[in-house]
Amino acid sequence: MSSDEEEVKLYSALERNKKRQMMVSLSSSSDEGEDDEDFDDFTIHNTPTKRRRSSASPSKAAAKNGKSPSKAARKLQTDSDEDEDDLYTPREREAERLRKLRLEQEIRQKLEKDKVLNQTRAILDKVSTTKRQTTVNNLEVISLDSDSDEDSADAGPVEPVAPPPPQPVVDKGPLISLHIRSNGGAVDEIGIHKKETFDQLYTRFCDLHGLPRSALKMSLDGDALPLAGTPASEDLDTGDLIEAKVDFSQQNEAQKKTYLRLRLVVFGQRSEIFKIDSTATVKKLHASYCGKHGIANPKDVVMSIQDQELRLNERLNFYGLIDLDEISVKVSNTAAPQ
C-alpha cells in the first residue's frame, strides 16, 4: 500500500456494536433525510446490557408483591375499564352518565304506573307473609304472620278457604198465642210458632217473670208438657190454655223482663198487636213487622209516634212507651203489607 493512498480506518467489532446501539437510541424525531456521515456528529450513549430474568408465574409474582391473583385480575379489569373511559372526552362521559340515569328513571316510572304489576307485587308480598294452618275439617286457613319469615318460606301454595255452608232455612210454622195460667190465677199470653219446641215456651215464661227453670212446671190436660214437643204435635192453636205451677219465691226482679203490647196501625187497615221486650230496639219491632208481612226492603216501612219518626237504633223504653200504645206505620205503595 502506497503512502499516497488515503489510509482506511479499520473498525473493530466493539466499535461496530456501539455504532448499532447508537442507531437504535436515536430519537424518532430525527430527520430521515440525513446521510450516514452525520452520525459522527452525535454523542454515542452506551446503553448498559440488561440481564433477562427468568419469568415467574403471575400467581407467584403477585404473591411476592403481597397481592392475590384475584386482586391482580380485578386490577387488570379496572385498568382496562379506565383505558376504555380514556377514549371518551369528559363531556361525552357526562352525557353517557346522564343518558343512563334518564333511562333508569323512565323505566322506574313505567313500572310504578303499571297497575297489574303493582297488584301482583301486593299479592306476592301478602302471600310471602302467610302461614297455612289446617282446621279440624281439613280446610286450609290463611293466617297472617309477618314476624315469621321461615314459616312463610316453607309454606306451599295457598289454597282458598272453603266458605261455610249456608244455614238451612228452618220452617217454624205460623205464630200462635198460648195462654199460660200460673198457679190457677193470673194468665199470661205468650207467642210461639207451631213448630217450635215447648222448651222455647219455658224460656219465654221464665224470662217474663225472672224465674229459673227449676221454679216452673207446665202441664197440658193433666200431663207434663214435654220439652221436645211442639204445639203442632199437640194440636194446639191460639187461645189454648196451659197450666203452670210456679215457685215465685225464686223470682229475681233484676232478671225480670217487662213486655209491652204495642198496637201497630196502618191507615185504612186493622191494627195489629205486637208483644215485645221493653228493652228491645225499635229495629227488632221493625224487623218483626216486615217479616210478618213479607216486606223485603225495610226502608219501605216507617214507624212514628205523634208524627215523630222512631229511630231504629233506639230502645223502646227510650220513647216512654207503655202497654197498648199505638205506633203509626207508613208503608210505601210498592211494598204494601200482605
Residues with Cβ within 8 Å of 12's Cβ and at least 6 positions away in sequence, in order, are: none
Cα 102 from chain centroid? 35
Q: How far is CA 284 from CA 78, 279, 290, in A?
A: 82, 10, 10
* DSSP per residue, 299-334: GGEEEEETTEEPPTTSBGGGGT--TT-EEEEEE-GG
At residue 316, φ and ψ (nearest 5 deg) are -65, -35
Cα 4 from chain centroid? 119
Domains 175-255 and 259-335 share a fold: yes
β-sheet bridge partners, residue 150: none
Which pLDDT tens digit goes with each residue over 130-157? 544 444 444 444 444 444 444 444 555 5
Per-residue pLDDT, 253: 77
Q: Which amino acid belongs to residue 13?
A: A
Query: Topology of domain 259-335, per CATH?
Result: Ubiquitin-like (UB roll) (3.10.20)
What top-level class would CATH report for the domain 175-255? Answer: alpha beta
Query: For residues 337 and 56, which has the higher predicted lDDT (pLDDT)?
Result: 337
Which pLDDT tens digit goes with each residue over 94-135? 888 899 999 888 888 887 777 777 777 777 776 665 544 444
Average pLDDT, the chain: 74
Per-residue pLDDT, 1: 47
Q: How far is CA 25 from CA 31, 57, 100, in A?
A: 14, 31, 48
Residues with Cβ within 8 Å of 193's Cβ and at least 6 positions away in sequence, in order, are: 172, 173, 174, 175, 176, 231
How many angstroms separate the CA atoms of 104 and 96, rounded?
12
Per-residue pLDDT, 141: 47
The closest of 261, 243, 239, 246 to 209, measured between CA atoms, is 246
Name the band, by pLDDT with cuts 50, 70 and 90, for residue 328.
very high
**Which SS3 state, helix, strand or coil, does residue 279 take?**
coil
Taking the model in full, what pTM does it have?
0.39
Per-residue pLDDT, 24: 53
Q: Which amino acid belongs to residue 67?
A: K
Pair type for strands 175-182 and 140-144:
unpaired
Which pLDDT tens digit goes with each residue over 55-83? 444 444 444 455 455 555 555 555 555 55
Domain boundaries, the chain: 85-156, 175-255, 259-335
Alpha helices in 4-89 (DSSP H): 13-25, 58-64, 69-85
Q: Is the pLDDT of residue 178 over 90?
A: yes
